[in-house]
Amino acid sequence: MSKNIKYAVLIPAYKPDEKFVDFVTLLRKQNIPVVVVDDGSKDACKAFFDSAEKVGCVVVHHEVNGGKGKALRTGFEEIIRLNSKGAGYNYVVTADCDGQHDIEAINTVVEAAEESLMNEKGPAFVIGGRFRDEGEKVPFKSRLGNEFTRMVFKVATGLSIHDTQTGLRAIPEKLFNEMLKVKGDRYEYEMNMLLQIKNWHVHYKEVPIKTIYYDNNAGTHFHPLRDSFLIISQILKFALSSMASFLFDYVLFAILTIVFGWKYAVAYAVARVLSGILNYILNAKVVFGKSSPKSFIKYACVWALILVLGSFGGQVINGYLHLPKILCKLVVDLPLFCLSYWLQKIFVFKR
- Residue 167 domain-assigned (yes or no): yes
- Residue 230 domain-assigned (yes or no): no
pLDDT value, residue 255: 92
> What is the domain-level CATH number for residue 101?
3.90.550.10
Domain shared by 259 and 320, yes or no? yes
SS3 at position 169: strand
- Mark which of 170, 200, 222 sits at the end of a domain: 222
d(CA 175, CA 346): 18
Choose among 45, 37, 32, 31: nearest CA to 11. Answer: 37
- Mark which of 152, 187, 222 sits at the end of a domain: 222
pLDDT value, residue 1: 52
Whether the pLDDT of residue 200 is over 50: the answer is yes
Determine the structural domain holding residue 75 and report its residue range. 7-222
- Percentage of the chain exceeding pLDDT 90: 36
Among 20-29, 115-124, 236-245, 250-259, name the one with the lowest average pLDDT.
236-245
Domain shared by 180 and 250, yes or no? no
- Residue 227 domain-assigned (yes or no): no
Tell me what the mean pLDDT of segment 294-315 comes to. 82
Model confidence band, residue 12 (pLDDT cutoffs 50, 70, 90): very high
Whether the pLDDT of residue 224 is over 90: the answer is no
Q: What is the pLDDT of residues 131-186, one digit of tens each?
A: 655 445 555 555 555 666 677 777 667 788 888 888 899 999 999 999 999 988 88
Among 131-135, 202-206, 290-294, name the one with the lowest average pLDDT.
131-135
- Residue 94 domain-assigned (yes or no): yes
Domain shared by 54 and 198, yes or no? yes
Domain shared by 175 and 324, yes or no? no
Q: What is the number of structural domains in the chain?
A: 2
| CA distances from residue 202 to 171, 223, 251 in whole angstroms, order as listed | 10, 30, 42
Model confidence band, residue 268 (pLDDT cutoffs 50, 70, 90): confident
- Residue 117 domain-assigned (yes or no): yes
Whether the pLDDT of residue 214 is over 50: the answer is no
Among 61-65, 73-77, 248-252, 325-329, name the one with the lowest average pLDDT.
325-329
Domain shared by 177 and 318, yes or no? no
- Residue 205 domain-assigned (yes or no): yes
Average pLDDT, whole number, for the chain?
A: 82
Q: Could you tell me whether strands 204-208 and 125-129 are parallel, antiparallel, or unpaired per DSSP bridges? A: parallel
Instruction: Output 239 or 275, whichever has higher pLDDT.
Output: 275
Domain shared by 271 and 170, yes or no? no
Choose among 105, 116, 91: nearest CA to 9. Answer: 91
Helices 325-343 and 293-321: crossing angle in degrees, nearest 10, is: 150
Q: What is the pLDDT of residues 21-78, one digit of tens each?
A: 999 999 999 999 999 999 999 888 999 999 999 999 999 999 999 999 999 999 999 9
- Mark which of 172, 199, 222 sits at the end of a domain: 222
Model confidence band, residue 81 (pLDDT cutoffs 50, 70, 90): very high
- The identity of residue 343, as a single letter, is L
Domain shared by 166 and 285, yes or no? no
pLDDT value, residue 135: 43
pLDDT value, residue 48: 95
- Asked whether the beta carbons of 38 and 61 are under 8 A apart, the reply is yes
Domain shared by 214 and 265, yes or no? no
Choose among 270, 266, 273, 249: nearest CA to 332. Answer: 249
- Residue 229 domain-assigned (yes or no): no
Instruction: Output 80 or 154, whichever has higher pLDDT.
Output: 80
pLDDT value, residue 285: 79
Domain shared by 80 and 176, yes or no? yes
- Residue 2 domain-assigned (yes or no): no
pLDDT value, residue 23: 93
Whether the pLDDT of residue 222 is over 70: the answer is no
Bridge partner list, 37: 12, 60
- Asked whether the beta carbons of 344 and 283 are under 8 A apart, the reply is yes
Whether the pLDDT of residue 239 is over 90: the answer is no
Domain shared by 23 and 158, yes or no? yes
Domain shared by 195 and 274, yes or no? no
pLDDT value, residue 82: 98
Q: Burial code of 37-48, b = ≥16 C-beta within 10 A, e = fewer?
A: bbbbbeeebeeb
Question: φ, ψ for residue 61 (rounded to 5)?
Answer: -110, 135
Whether the pLDDT of residue 221 is over 50: the answer is no
Domain shared by 29 and 90, yes or no? yes
Instruction: Output 207 or 332, whichever has higher pLDDT.
Output: 207
Bridge partner list, 38: 13, 61
